[in-house]
Amino acid sequence: MSIFEYNGSAVVAMVGKNCFAIASDRRLGVQLQTIATDFQRIFKIHDHLFIGLSGLATDVQTLYQRLVFRHKLYQLREERDMKPDTFASLVSAILYEKRFGPYLCQPVIAGLGEDNKPFICTMDSIGAKELAKDFVVSGTASESLYGACEAMYKPDMEAEELFETISQALLSSVDRDCLSGWGGHVYVVTPNEVKERILKGRMD
């Protein structure tokens, strides 16, 4: 069994009209045993920038702490928040730094850039960026997420419809994956508002 599947995870991000949504499951497991059902995989970097980290939970926590640290240094030096594409390059560089002993997680980065243009991107564990203009997925449920997103996604959705779509895509995908699930955590980000919602799904 792959080390990426040790804790189980599902992370997805979608682009809407001047908005984006990022969602994850809430399970923390050790292989088939569930430890907790309120684990956090999506983190806020600033009001318009979020990162979801799938994969090994310990590296999710370590990597998140390093990223917060680097972003704080950036804020002090530049007196502004980081742009999403800059942040993606930072994550990529931090991951590639550990090319031969990587952090075992696959990040999903979602943010609103200049003129509220949504930006989403995913990466492998050694920082190879993969940009997309519709949706990105990662985690143990990524295969089923691809299918669900492919079927449900429409371009230029408004925030509410985007929330509905990403939630349905997430919930239907994790039901086909033993290692992820136990509800979901969804953030919908528009230029003036961040909406955070907890989903209940099949809680078994």
Partner 1 sequence: MECVFGLVGNGFAIVAADTSAVHSILVHKNNEDKIMVLDSHKLVAASGEPGDRVQFTEYVQKNVSLYQFRNGIPLTTSAAANFTRGELATALRKNPYSVNILMAGYDKEAGASLYYIDYIATLHKVDKGAFGYGSYFSLSTMDRHYRSDMTVEEAIELVDKCILEIRSRLVIAPPNFIIKIVDKNGARVHATRQSVQDVTTAAV
Contact residues for partner 1, defined by CB under 8 A: 7, 28, 30, 33, 35-36, 39, 56-58, 61-62, 101
Closest separation in Å from C-beta 78 to partner 1: 27
Closest separation in Å from C-beta 105 to partner 1: 12
Closest separation in Å from C-beta 102 to partner 1: 10
Whose Cβ is closer to partner 1: residue 7's or residue 167's? Answer: 7
Whose Cβ is closer to partner 1: residue 103's or residue 163's? Answer: 103
Whose Cβ is closer to partner 1: residue 29's or residue 118's? Answer: 29
Whose Cβ is closer to partner 1: residue 3's or residue 131's? Answer: 3
| CA atoms of 113 and 119, how far apart (whole Å) | 7
Closest separation in Å from C-beta 163 to partner 1: 27
The identity of residue 34, as a single letter, is: T
Closest separation in Å from C-beta 87 to partner 1: 23
Closest separation in Å from C-beta 14 to partner 1: 27
Of the candidates 22, 78, 52, 12, the one whose C-alpha atom is nearest the C-alpha of residue 194 is 22
Whose Cβ is closer to partner 1: residue 58's or residue 75's? Answer: 58
| CA atoms of 60 and 195, how far apart (whole Å) | 23
| CA atoms of 39 and 41, how far apart (whole Å) | 7
* Backbone φ, ψ for residue 95 (5° rounding): -70, -40
CB count in 10 Å sphere of residue 130? 13
Yes or no: say if 50 and 43 are a contact pair by the CB < 8 Å rule: yes
Torsion sign (Cα): 121, 116, 46, 42 = negative
Whose Cβ is closer to partner 1: residue 56's or residue 162's? Answer: 56
| CA atoms of 17 and 156, how far apart (whole Å) | 4
Tokens at 53, concatenated:
């980290």
